[in-house]
């Protein structure tokens, strides 16, 4: 399992769930409208993450300032796969790019950035695999907001319950975790995005 790059996600035949952490103001507006509206900004990059535990690590289980509300955002496969198709890695990986110059040119012009981060356990320990982050730039973010989103749900109460359970060695902890399985991609995307074959 060492150095494993996989997209692991909660998905069905038509949609995939990504997670984001926001302030109360952004979360409440998004939940009410079932899409992102003011004070959410369309002028800056937003990152979507299909790994629940990675976002928990990043947001300190919803306790980090400005990231106290955890949202699950269900988007269409078409939107998710468009993002992957337009994505360029955030580093000049030799297995993907012929040169640093080639990477730099593609990265600067990419509407979507792809970053791999070390996956985390429930207690925050580094795992021998990586989780994908997808950064949507201002050139594509409106499409995400207006066309890709199917539903937005507030996971904050569940996150608070899980945070209590994970520190008490409760056997029921895993029961509340979102189900995640490997999301399949074709060979061309796998090579371009560094996904393990």
8-state DSSP, 35: S
Instruction: Give residue 173's pLDDT.
Output: 86
Flag whether pLDDT at 197 surpasses 90: no
pLDDT at 67: 97
Distance CA 7, CA 50 (A): 8
pLDDT at 2 over 60: no
* pLDDT recorded at residue 1: 41
Quote the pTM value.
0.94
- What pLDDT digit, counting tens, does each position of 52-82 carry? 999 999 999 999 999 999 999 999 999 999 9
Instruction: Write down the domain spans for the chain.
Output: 4-181
Q: What is the mean pLDDT of the chain?
A: 94
Tens-place pLDDT, residues 125-171 = 999 999 999 999 999 999 999 999 999 999 999 999 999 988 776 67
Encode the chain in three state secondary structure. Answer: CCCEECCEECECCCEEEEEEEECHHHHHHHHHHCCCCCCCCCCCCEEEECCHHHHHHHHCCCCCCCCCEEEEEEEEHHHHHHHHHHEEECCCCCCCCCCHHHHHHHHHHCCEEEEEEEEECCCCCEEEEEEEEEEECCCCHHHHHHHHEEEEEECHHHHHHHHHHHCCCCCCHHHHCCCCEECCCCHHHHHHHCCCC
Sign of the Cα pseudo-torsion (97, 102, 103, 107, in order): negative
């Amino acid at each position: 399992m060492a150095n494993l790059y996989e997209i692991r996600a909660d998905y069905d035949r038509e949609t995939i769930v990504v997670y984001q952490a926001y302030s109360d103001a952004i979360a409440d507006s998004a939940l009410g409208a079932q899409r992102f509206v003011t004070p959410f900004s369309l002028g800056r990059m937003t990152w979507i993450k299909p790994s629940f535990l990675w976002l928990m690590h990043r947001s300190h289980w919803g306790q980090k300032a400005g990231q106290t509300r955890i949202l699950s955002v269900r988007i269409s496969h078409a939107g998710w796969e468009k993002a992957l198709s337009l994505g360029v890695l955030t580093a000049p990986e030799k297995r993907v790019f012929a040169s640093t110059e080639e990477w730099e040119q593609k990265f600067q012009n990419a509407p979507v950035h792809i970053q791999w981060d070390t996956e985390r356990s429930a207690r925050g320990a580094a795992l021998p695999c990586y989780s994908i982050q997808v950064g949507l730039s201002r050139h594509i973010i409106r499409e995400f907001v207006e066309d890709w989103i199917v539903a937005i749900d507030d996971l904050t109460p569940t996150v608070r319950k899980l945070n209590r359970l994970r520190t008490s060695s409760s056997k029921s902890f895993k029961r509340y975790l979102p189900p995640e399985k490997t999301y399949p991609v074709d060979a061309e995307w796998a090579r371009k995005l560094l996904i393990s074959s």
